[in-house]
Each structure stands twice: as C-alpha cells, then as structure tokens.
Amino acid sequence: MKRPIVLLLAAVVLLPLLVRPAIATEIWIFAIFGLGLNLLLGYTGMLSFGQSTFFGSAAYVAGWLLKHYAINVFLALGIGMGVGAASAALVGYLCVQRSGLYFIMLTFALNQLFFFTAYQWTSVTGGEDGMPGIPRPALAGIDFSNPLVYYCFVAALFLAALWIMRRIVESPLGRILQAIRENPVRAEAVGYDVPRFKLLAFVIGGAFSGLAGVLYAMLFGIVPLEAIGFVFSGNVLFATLIGGSGSLYGPVIGSFVFIWLSESVSTLWARWPLLLGVAFVMVVLFLRGGVVEAWTRFWTWRSSKPKT
C-alpha cells in the first residue's frame, strides 16, 4: 500500500510543472468525482449513469451562494457536499429497489430531469449560458485566485478525500458493499438491509460528487450547463472504467488519463473522443480491470520472467 501513496504524492508535486495549473486542478477534481462513483460502481456493483446530477446540483447551489452571498469557501464546500448527498439520497431512494438495466435507465432519466430543470430555470442557472461569475473568495489571507494556490488547495482536498474513501472501503461498510456486489441475496440473508446499504453508498458517493462540483465551479468561475448533463455522467464513468473500477486508485488514474487526453489531444484533433471510444472498447474487451489491471499484469509478467 505504500508505493501508490508515494507515486501519488510525486504526481501531486510534479503535475503543475507539466501541465497548466487549471488542467492539473481539474484532474484532481475529476478524481474526487470518480472516487464517489467508484464506491457505487466498483464496490457496490451499481452502474450509475447519473452522477452529474449530484455534481451539478452542488455546483449550482454553492455557486449561487458564493456569487450572491459571498459565503466562506469551506461553507460552500460543506453545502455542496450536503446538496450532493441530499440529491443522491433522493435519486438513490428511487433507484435502489431496481436492478440491472432498469436501475441504469432510472439514474439516467432522473439525471435528465435535473438537467432540464437547470436548462429551463434560466433566472437562476442561466440555462444554456451557464452560471458565470463564481468567485474564489480568499480565506484567512490565502488568495485562492492564484491558480497555483488553488491547485494546492484542491490537491490537499483530493488527498483528504482519497484517505477518507480508503478508510470507508477498508471498514466493515466497504466489505458489506462488496458483499452486496458479490451476492445480494446472501448479503440480505446474513442480515443486511441491502437497499439501505445501497442508499448509503449513493449518499456517500453523492457527497464526493458534490465536493467535486463546487471545486469545479470555483476553478472555472462558472457552472456550465454540461456540469449537470449526461455527457458529464458518461465522462466520469468512462474515466473510472478506463482507470479500473476494481481498485481504489482506478478512478484517480482514469481521471488523469481522461483529462490529460481531452486537454492535450483535443487541441490537436477535434475528433479526439474517437480515441477515447477505442480505448474504452479495448478496456471492455480485453482489460476489465482497466489501467490498474494492465499495471499489475505487467509486473506479474516481469517478475515471472527468469532473471538473466
């Protein structure tokens, strides 16, 4: 467990030297978003195609409060997590009784409901134009409008989020959620109220999504309508699957690959999502565990070779 932490810390330090601070920041924000999804997808076995509901709702509410009431940054983050958790509780409550395709379609449909609400409610959300003018208020003399300062802030929050998620998945709750993924009928029979635990996973995942949403709004100073749209839900799903949904670090690596590709390749070639599509197909066909699995396979292959 030590090595990934060291690699991660190195990445946190080196990333702003390699790419623009805004992109580096976005990578960690997206990673927080992915951590929340992966509790549902990788650990509980629920494919949610509506994660941007929680991300976007939190971004709008906290963004609005930041803009009109100039609230404290931490209060904004707290409110965002609360909104993320509450919207996830609502969506989760309606979804956890279903499974398979119906579950996926329901998360998607509810996402669309939130999307069109934001789309129509132009007086608050700005509709298609988004909600601009979201400030990054200074806190205790720390000026977050400096991109590098904001990067450090987000990176620290990401590390905290990762640590918290690690504690959760290594706790009894993490094991119960995995038991539900492995065999929901038996999990129920040994004494767990499966829908309630699924709902709990939704709420925790929603809080992580909400945190990411607020950080995103403050990063770009705007909540674009896409932040609550299905493409965003799909992106985080793509990133998590490419990184590897079977492990804690999968979504982090996936976010890195996804954001880095989208920012660097998109300037060279407008049809870059094509590449992403190919990568996705490869993962689904040959590498269910994503980049993390490729990595472990490579190391087992290397260590199995006789030394010469």
Q: Which residues bind other proteins (CB under 8 A)?
A: 167-168, 170-176, 178-179, 182-183, 185-194, 204
**C-beta of 193: minimal distance to other proteins in Å?**
4
Closest CB to other proteins among 188 and 226?
Answer: 188
What residues have CB less than 8 Å from 22, skipping those under 6 apart? Answer: 147, 219, 220
Q: What is the DSSP letter of 222?
A: E
Closest CB to other proteins among 134 and 176?
Answer: 176
Closest CB to other proteins among 141 and 191?
Answer: 191
H-state helical runs in 244-289: 250-268, 273-286
Q: How far is CA 120 from CA 43, 87, 157, 240, in A?
A: 35, 19, 33, 30
Q: Kind and range of the H or E element at 198?
A: helix 194-220
Q: Which two tokens stand for residue 93?
A: 């409550």
Closest CB to other proteins among 98 and 175?
Answer: 175
> In angstroms, rounded to a whole number, what is the distance separating the alpha carbons of residues 82 and 65?
14
> In angstroms, rounded to a whole number, what is the distance separating the alpha carbons of residues 287 and 241?
10
Closest CB to other proteins among 140 and 185?
Answer: 185
> In angstroms, rounded to a whole number, what is the distance separating the alpha carbons of residues 246 and 10?
23
Closest CB to other proteins among 110 and 194?
Answer: 194
**C-beta of 244: minimal distance to other proteins in Å?**
15
**C-beta of 36: minimal distance to other proteins in Å?**
14
Closest CB to other proteins among 37 and 65?
Answer: 37
**C-beta of 41: minimal distance to other proteins in Å?**
15
**C-beta of 229: minimal distance to other proteins in Å?**
31
> In angstroms, rounded to a whole number, what is the distance separating the alpha carbons of residues 248 and 5?
12
Closest CB to other proteins among 95 and 194?
Answer: 194
**C-beta of 238: minimal distance to other proteins in Å?**
24
**C-beta of 174: minimal distance to other proteins in Å?**
8
SS (H, E, C) 118-181: HHHCHHHHCHHHCEECCCCCCECCECCCCHHHHHHHHHHHHHHHHHHHHHHHCCHHHHHHHHHH
Q: How far is CA 269 from CA 5, 21, 24, 33, 102, in A?
A: 34, 22, 21, 26, 36
Q: How far is CA 232 from CA 12, 46, 112, in A?
A: 24, 18, 12
**C-beta of 196: minimal distance to other proteins in Å?**
8
